[in-house]
Every structure is written in structure tokens, then in C-alpha cells.
């Protein structure tokens, strides 16, 4: 017997409709690429999203067509989030930090029909246009006065196109499982693969973000996503903010510490979100200038492990709660959040940090399990570590166009490629990426553990640990480190520091100092490149 409840589809347009009706005067503040700060309200944004939808109709965009964007966090990008998906097309956020050949590959693979771009990327569009023969038009996200002087036929002006439209538009209704947006993983190995979200998965994910044990987003918040809208939908924040009517502050292209700090203060931001690298820059600025945060009371850190020292600094020196979050593009992206449980409130500071450095507990909707190489489930004792598998209504069941084949196990679990522990309270801790762990004499060494300890050593700015072949132990760790400016820390000093924090057999067999480490487009260490670079490295112990 079925329940007698209305089966209303969960559609993305309902988020912006709700924001316009119940939080219509709440602002979206953007630092524009053109220069000035721009202010509009949810009411304006909803109206302009409808004009976007009409404009796409007029351009001949149909249900399921892909619309690419090359854009920073800003109000026009947000209009496209709602306008494109709302009219039934698929918003495809391209990552401008990728190599031009990768962007071309991805836009062609996705068969983008139009590409909308911020002025920053006008030269890139000029360079790529000839390699994108199937794109019907390139739309510069600016007004007529600021149109770029580039040699691209098929060029349009966003504001001119919008001026021709009214907001007299009825959002279409369709199956909630309809594709809504597309985001490619950065593909540190092989070609990038597309994750195709649906209206249903996006709305459910937004609800999860708003829950107290998710990111506790509400209409009382002012949210500044430093995480880009081209990186896993800015962790779903634009949708979730509309769902709860939170004010949005969009930093545009300027993500340095000073610019972000200025917005945090002038706009009374309460919640920010970004990867550790961004917070390093921000904390560096705040510390150097002797500043504090007047209104920010929590910050979401994810994308890579938040270092213990960073969490301590935010909590102790600035009174900002760190929400350590883990997830991935394939998961919309939120999987776990590191909020404390009620019973942790009475713990001493250090013990609370022990909890906060873990990547956190599953939010409702996400099932987690850890398994060994044979797929056998491992105990949740906080010690055993194995492959981390996930399942849930906002987790991919296959890449776009079937790339990568079947990706779920018999119970529909997806292998994240991460290695983790789960403790009896359900806190998950990432110990490594499967391909990065160092298999030394039958034991696994977590490269992340050693790296995190190394950056706690005075004089060390950044460190990467990779496996190097070893005749006796199969693999042994090699550390490649970058010194802080003007520091002259030695290999011996680093080893001495590490000896106090990790077991002797986990110590790197050698340390090489370099000027800089390679990173992916999303700011993660590019270990494939390091492994390639050091594949013939002779360890002193070999
Ligand atoms: P990509 O960089 O491939 O686009 P994602 O943003 O989807 O990727 O990256 C997902 C991966 O990032 C996770 O599988 C995990 O390895 C890593 N990651 C994300 N958040 C954390 C975290 N809080 N701690 C450690 N690793 C993390």
C-alpha cells in the first residue's frame, strides 16, 4: 500500500522561488571582475534567473543540453545555476585552472552548446574557440560597455541578451531525476570524468547542508564561499543558501588573504568555506596585521585534510569553530562533517582537537564502510584502516557517458579511493589516498600523517611523502619538502621533529628540499608528478 502524500518533484527552481518569496530582501554581494562591489537581492536574482531561462529558450537550448561556464563566484554565475538547471538544461561548470587542452577535452566531451565566461577568461576563450567547433556561442558575462576585444565569432554579451527578456516565465516541471549539472573530476590519473547531478540529488544535498550537524546553514548566516563554484558546486552552498535564505558574499577572482578578510569584515560574514591553502593565506594576513574576526563564527575546511595547527589557531586564537568536512565531486560533494558531539563539550581543548582533526561523521543519507583488499568489512575501532566506500542519494552511480565502466559494488557502494579508519562514535579519519599509501614490509604508512607532522616542524612550509621502491621493504617513504622563506631547517632537524611524533619505521628514509611542489588545479599535491620525477631516486637505505 502506498502512502497518500503528494509526490511533488524536488526541482532546483523551487530553491530560488522560495528565497525570492520568503527572503526576497536578503542580499547577494559580489566582488565583480570589472571591479566594483555589486549588490542584489534574492528577489532580483530570481527575476534574472527567469530571464536567463527565457534567453536560453530563445537561443534554442533544449532539455538536457549542456551549458558550460568559466566563471568565478559571483551573482551572474549564481543566476546561471538557477536559470540553466531551472529551464531543464545542464549547467556544466568548467574549471579554468585546468590546462587549456584539458578544458577543450572536457567541453567537447560534455558537448557544451554554449559557454558563458567571466572577463578574466576572455583570452582563454579566444585561444580555445577554434578547438570547440560544436559550441554555438560564447557569452561574455558582462555588459555592452565592458565587452572584451577578442577575435571570436559566435560572441555574445550577457547583459545585452538579458535586456531583451522579461521575467514573465513559468518554470517547467519534469522528473526530479532529470540531470541538472555536470562537474568533471580533476583526473590526476587518466582523462577527467563527468559527475552528473540531478535535481533530486541537489535538493536533498542542500537539505543535508542546512541540518545542524551538516553545516547548520540558516537565514541568520552570511556565507562566503571561497571554494569556487566550478569546484563541486562550491560544496553545494549556492543551492543551500537559497534554500534557507542565507546572505551570500561572493569573492570573485580575488582570493588572497587581504581581499577575503576585507569582505569577511565589511559584510559581517558568519560562515566561510574553503580548502586549507586559502586559510593559510588568510591566517597569514590576519596574523601579520594583528587582526581578528568580528563576526565569523565558523569555517568549513575541506578538500584536503585540515592541519591540526590550523584548527588550533582558528579555535584558540580567533574563536572560530572549524567544521572539518570531507567529500568529493562524486558525492555532490558532502559526506562527513567533523562537528563535536554533546559529550565532547566537557573535554579539554587538546582532546577536542583530537576529535576535530578527524574528517567527521556521516551526515544522514550517506552510508560509509571500510573494507580490506578482499572487500571484507573492517571493524569500526578507530585503528583498522581500509578502502572507504560510500552509498547514498547524492552519490554518483556512474560517470557521464559510461566512462570508467561499472563503478559500484554489489551493494551499490562506490569506492572513494580514500583509505580511512572509522571509530566507535562513527568519526571517519582519512589516512591516505589508496594510491598514495606507502606499503612498507606488509605495513601501510600514511603519507598524510607524515606530511601533517612535517608541516608542524618550524621552518617547513609544505611537504609531500611518496613511496619509492626498496629492495627489502618493497616501498619506503621519501619526503620532498619546501622550506619557509628565509628558513634554513635541515634534514636532521626535520627527522628529529618527526621522531617525536611518529613511529620510527614510518620515518622517511630521505628528505629532499625543493623550491616548490606541484599541485593539481584544485590545489592538491600532484603526487603522480612527484612519483614520476623521483622514480629512479636512490634511497640511502637501499
Ligand atoms: P578533485 O580534486 O579530484 O576534483 P575532489 O574535490 O572531488 O576532487 O576531491 C576529493 C578527494 O579530496 C577525497 O577523495 C579526498 O581524498 C580528498 N579530501 C577531501 N576532503 C578532505 C579532507 N577533509 N581531508 C582529507 N582529504 C580530503
Q: Looking at the CA of residue 185, tell me the nearest atom of ligand 1.
A: 4
Ligand 1 pocket member 396 (CB < 6 A): no
Which listed residue (41, 159, 444, 528) is catalytic? 444
Residue 32 belongs to some domain of the structure: yes
- Would residue 479 be called left, alpha or beta, if left means φ above 0 and alpha means ψ between -120 and 50 degrees? beta
29 plus 105 within the same structural domain? yes
The strand pair at 298-301 and 321-327 is best described as: parallel
Task: Kindly indicate the confidence band of residue 522, based on its pLDDT and cuts at 50, 70 and 90.
Answer: confident
Report the C-alpha gap between 226 and 534 in whole angstroms.
Answer: 33
Q: How far is the CA of 60 from the centre of ligand 1 (A)?
A: 37
Q: Which of 167-176, 415-424, 519-528 shows the lowest per-residue confidence on average (mean pLDDT)? A: 519-528
Q: 419 — phi, psi (to 5°)?
A: -115, 135
Q: What is the pLDDT of residues 222-232, one digit of tens each?
A: 999 999 999 99
- Would residue 459 be called left, alpha or beta, if left means φ above 0 and alpha means ψ between -120 and 50 degrees? left
Q: How far is the CA of 358 from the centre of ligand 1 (A)?
A: 14
Single out the residue in 204, 223, 252 at which a domain terminates.
204
| Mean predicted confidence (pLDDT) in 38-61 | 98
Q: What is the pLDDT of residues 51-90, one digit of tens each?
A: 999 999 999 999 999 999 999 999 999 999 999 999 999 9
pLDDT score of 189 more than 80: no
CATH, residue 125: 3.40.50.12780
Give the end-to-end CA distance of the chain in Å, rounded to a whole number: 69
| Mean predicted confidence (pLDDT) in 327-340 | 97
410 plus 513 within the same structural domain? no
Q: What is the pLDDT of residues 2-23, one digit of tens each?
A: 999 999 999 999 999 999 999 9
Which listed residue (439, 490, 499, 532) is catalytic? 439
CATH, residue 399: 2.30.38.10
pLDDT score of 250 more than 90: yes
42 plus 154 within the same structural domain? yes
pLDDT score of 537 more than 80: yes
pLDDT of residue 330: 97
Q: Note whether 271 and 221 are within 8 A (CB).
A: yes
Report the C-alpha gap between 398 and 389 in whole angstroms.
Answer: 14
Q: Looking at the CA of residue 416, tell me the nearest atom of ligand 1.
A: 14
Domain that includes residue 67, residue range: 13-204
Ligand 1 pocket member 98 (CB < 6 A): no
Residue 144 belongs to some domain of the structure: yes
Q: State yes or no: is 326 an active-site residue.
A: no
Q: State yes or no: is 439 an active-site residue.
A: yes
pLDDT score of 501 more than 90: no
Distances (CA, A) of 209 to 215, 223, 268, 305: 5, 13, 21, 19
Residue 135 belongs to some domain of the structure: yes
Instruction: Output the residue whose Cα is nearest ligand 1's atom 5.
Output: 328
Q: How far is the CA of 143 from the centre of ligand 1 (A)?
A: 36
Q: How far is the CA of 433 from the centre of ligand 1 (A)?
A: 9
pLDDT of residue 440: 87
Distances (CA, A) of 387 to 232, 322, 349, 396: 22, 26, 31, 17
| CA 92 to mean position of chain CA atoms | 15
21 plus 61 within the same structural domain? yes
Q: Which cell numbers in the block locate residue 478?
A: 621519501
Task: Kindly indicate the confidence band of residue 190, based on its pLDDT and cuts at 50, 70 and 90.
Answer: low
| Mean predicted confidence (pLDDT) in 396-414 | 95
Q: State yes or no: is 287 an active-site residue.
A: no
pLDDT score of 188 more than 70: no
Count of domains observed in the chain: 3
449 plus 463 within the same structural domain? yes
Q: State yes or no: is 343 an active-site residue.
A: no
Residue 7 belongs to some domain of the structure: no
482 plus 375 within the same structural domain? no
115 plus 50 within the same structural domain? yes
Ligand 1 pocket member 41 (CB < 6 A): no
**Coil vs helix vs strand at 187:** coil
| Mean predicted confidence (pLDDT) in 229-241 | 97
Residue 4 belongs to some domain of the structure: no
Instruction: Output the residue whose Cα is nearest ligand 1's atom 9.
Output: 328
pLDDT score of 141 more than 60: yes
pLDDT score of 409 more than 80: yes
Q: How far is the CA of 245 from the centre of ligand 1 (A)?
A: 28
Which listed residue (69, 93, 178, 185) is catalytic? 185
Report the C-alpha gap between 299 and 98 in whole angstroms.
Answer: 26
Share of residues in the chain with pLDDT > 70 (%): 99
Calculate helix-pair angle for 237-244, 199-210, nearest 10 degrees: 70
Q: Which cell numbers in the block locate residue 277?
A: 591553502
43 plus 152 within the same structural domain? yes
Q: What is the pLDDT of residues 340-389, one digit of tens each?
A: 999 999 999 999 999 999 999 999 999 999 999 899 999 999 999 999 99
Instruction: Output the residue whose Cα is nearest ligand 1's atom 25.
Output: 305
pLDDT score of 1 more than 80: yes
Residue 231 belongs to some domain of the structure: no
pLDDT of residue 449: 85
- Ligand 1 pocket test, candidate residues 327, 337, 435, most atoms within 8 A of CB: 327
pLDDT of residue 233: 96
Task: Kindly indicate the confidence band of residue 401, based on its pLDDT and cuts at 50, 70 and 90.
Answer: very high
Amino acid at each position: 500500500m502506498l502512502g497518500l502524500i503528494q509526490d511533488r518533484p524536488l526541482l532546483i527552481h523551487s530553491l530560488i522561488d522560495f528565497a525570492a518569496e520568503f527572503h526576497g530582501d536578503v542580499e547577494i554581494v559580489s566582488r565583480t571582475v570589472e571591479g566594483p562591489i555589486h549588490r542584489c537581492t534574492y528577489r532580483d536574482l530570481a527575476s534574472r534567473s527567469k530571464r536567463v531561462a527565457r534567453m536560453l529558450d530563445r537561443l534554442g537550448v533544449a532539455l538536457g543540453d549542456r551549458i558550460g561556464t568559466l566563471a568565478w563566484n559571483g551573482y551572474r554565475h549564481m543566476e546561471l545555476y538557477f536559470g540553466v538547471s531551472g529551464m531543464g538544461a545542464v549547467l556544466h561548470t568548467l574549471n579554468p585552472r585546468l590546462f587549456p587542452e584539458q578544458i577543450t577535452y572536457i567541453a567537447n566531451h560534455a558537448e557544451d552548446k554554449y559557454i558563458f565566461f567571466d572577463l578574466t577568461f576572455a583570452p582563454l576563450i579566444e585561444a580555445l574557440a577554434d578547438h570547440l567547433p560544436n559550441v554555438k556561442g560564447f557569452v561574455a558575462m558582462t555588459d555592452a560597455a565592458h565587452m572584451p576585444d577578442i577575435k571570436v565569432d559566435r560572441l555574445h554579451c550577457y547583459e545585452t541578451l538579458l535586456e531583451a527578456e522579461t521575467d514573465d516565465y513559468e518554470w517547467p516541471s519534469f522528473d526530479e531525476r532529470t540531470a541538472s549539472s555536470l562537474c568533471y573530476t580533476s583526473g590526476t590519473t587518466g582523462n577527467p570524468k563527468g559527475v552528473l547531478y540531478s535535481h533530486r540529488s541537489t535538493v536533498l544535498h542542500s537539505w543535508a547542508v542546512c541540518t545542524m550537524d551538516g553545516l547548520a546553514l540558516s537565514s541568520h548566516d552570511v556565507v562566503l564561499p571561497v571554494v569556487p563554484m566550478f569546484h563541486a558546486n562550491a560544496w553545494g552552498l549556492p543551492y543551500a543558501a537559497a534554500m534557507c535564505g542565507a546572505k551570500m558574499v561572493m569573492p570573485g577572482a580575488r582570493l588572497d588573504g587581504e581581499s577575503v578578510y576585507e569582505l569577511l569584515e565589511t559584510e559581517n560574514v558568519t560562515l566561510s568555506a574553503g580548502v586549507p591553502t586559502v586559510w593559510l593565506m588568510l591566517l597569514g594576513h590576519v596574523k601579520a596585521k594583528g587582526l581578528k574576526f568580528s563576526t565569523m563564527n565558523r569555517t568549513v575546511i575541506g578538500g584536503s585534510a585540515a592541519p591540526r595547527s590550523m584548527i588550533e589557531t582558528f579555535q584558540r586564537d580567533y574563536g572560530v569553530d572549524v567544521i572539518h568536512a570531507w567529500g568529493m565531486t562524486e558525492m555532490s560533494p558532502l559526506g562527513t562533517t567533523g562537528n563535536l558531539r554533546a559529550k565532547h563539550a566537557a573535554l579539554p581543548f587538546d582532546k577536542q582537537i583530537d576529535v576535530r582533526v578527524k574528517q567527521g561523521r556521516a551526515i544522514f543519507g550517506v552510508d560509509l564502510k571500510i573494507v580490506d583488499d578482499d572487500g571484507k568489512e573492517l571493524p569500526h575501532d578507530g585503528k583498522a584502516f581500509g578502502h572507504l566506500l560510500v552509498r547514498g542519494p547524492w552519490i554518483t552511480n556512474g560517470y557521464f557517458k559510461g566512462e570508467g565502466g561499472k563503478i559500484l559494488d554489489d551493494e551499490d557502494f562506490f569506492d572513494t579511493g580514500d583509505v580511512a579508519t572509522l571509530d566507535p562514535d562513527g568519526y571517519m579519519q582519512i589516512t591516505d589516498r589508496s594510491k598514495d599509501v606507502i606499503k612498507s614490509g606488509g605495513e601501510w604508512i600514511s603519507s598524510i600523517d607524515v606530511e601533517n607532522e612535517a608541516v608542524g616542524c618550524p621552518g617547513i612550509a609544505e611537504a609531500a611523502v611518496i613511496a619509492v621502491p626498496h629492495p627489502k621493504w618493497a616501498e619506503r617513504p621519501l619526503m620532498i619538502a619546501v622550506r619557509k622563506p628565509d628558513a634554513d631547517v635541515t634534514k636532521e632537524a626535520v627527522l628529529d621533529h618527526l621522531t617525536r611524533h611518529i613511529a620510527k619505521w614510518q620515518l622517511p628514509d630521505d628528505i629532499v628540499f625543493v623550491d616548490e611542489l606541484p599541485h593539481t588545479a584544485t590545489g592538491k599535491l600532484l603526487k603522480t608528478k612527484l612519483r614520476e620525477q623521483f622514480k629512479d631516486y636512490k634511497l640511502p637505505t637501499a
